[in-house]
Amino acid sequence: MPTPEPLPSLVSPDDLASYPGAPFTQGEIDNASATVRSWAGWHIAPERNETVTVETEGGRRAIMLETLHLSAVTAVRDVTHAGHTAVLTDLPTHPTARFRAGILSRRSGWPCGAVEITFTHGHATCPAELRAVIAEVIRGDRRLGELRSRTLGDRSESWRDHLTTSSQSTVQTFRILRSR
């Protein structure tokens, strides 16, 4: 299987120029983008084509792709029983909330074994609400580089978790909450 191309950063320094703490370097943005993607469990943006192989138990149980913004399924192949030439039809293509969340079902059910799925997913650009989160991650990383904690008398504070409640909530809306 070919190695996937590295993902571009979610935003550029110009995209974050108006946020507190700017200017941000491309390196800081690259690190923050990787952190946000790791928390979310998928690449988020930009839109890209991907092919994955999924093990199925057969039947009508749904297949869950690692995305929350599915736009198209272009091919599904049964790779267990007939190699890469057995293209399955009756593909889910309707833009329901389940489909956009990467949850695929087939009326005729899935074959038991490995299924290869080619699909398009991700937002065209970084969603606006994540830009503030990326800037906040960078500011927190800068604080971590300077000082991790401090103690004065019986009080202490640390900056290990540096996202506000609002930013944590935003990240949760882009996070895949499925068991692996």
Is 76 inside a domain boundary?
Answer: yes
Q: Indicate yes or no: pTM above 0.75.
A: yes
| pLDDT of the residue at 110 | 87
- What is the number of domains present in the chain? 2
| pLDDT of the residue at 85 | 61
Domain range for 165 is 1-45+125-146+158-180
As a 3-state breakdown, the chain gives helix, strand, coil percent values, each rounded to 5, of 30, 25, 45
| pLDDT of the residue at 105 | 84
**Quick one: tokens of 26?**
């491309």
Q: Are residues 101 and 52 in the same domain?
A: yes
Q: Please spell the DSSP secondary structure of 3-58, one letter per residue.
A: PPPPPPPSS-GGGGTTSTT----HHHHHHHHHHHHHHHTS--SS-EEEEEEEEEEE
Q: Are residues 24 and 61 in the same domain?
A: no
Q: Are residues 1 and 55 in the same domain?
A: no
Q: Are residues 134 and 79 in the same domain?
A: no
Q: Are residues 166 and 77 in the same domain?
A: no
Is 136 inside a domain boundary?
Answer: yes
Q: List the end-to-end C-alpha distance of the chain, in Å, as a whole number.
A: 21
> Is residue 59 within 8 Å of residue 109, measured between CB atoms?
yes
Is 73 inside a domain boundary?
Answer: yes
| pLDDT of the residue at 84 | 55
| pLDDT of the residue at 180 | 45
What is the spatial distance between Cα 178 and Cα 180, in angstroms, rounded to a whole number? 6
pLDDT by 10-residue block (mean), the chain, 180 residues: 72 96 95 93 94 90 91 87 66 75 86 90 95 93 65 63 81 79
Q: Please spell the DSSP secondary structure of 29-44, one letter per residue.
A: HHHHHHHHHHHHTS--
97, with CB counted inside 10 A (0-12, 13-18, 19+), is exposed
> Is residue 74 within 8 Å of residue 119, measured between CB atoms?
yes
| pLDDT of the residue at 10 | 95
| pLDDT of the residue at 179 | 53
Is 152 inside a domain boundary?
Answer: no
The H or E element that residue 82 is part of is: none
Q: Which residue has the tokens 């469990």?
A: 41
3-state secondary structure of 139: helix
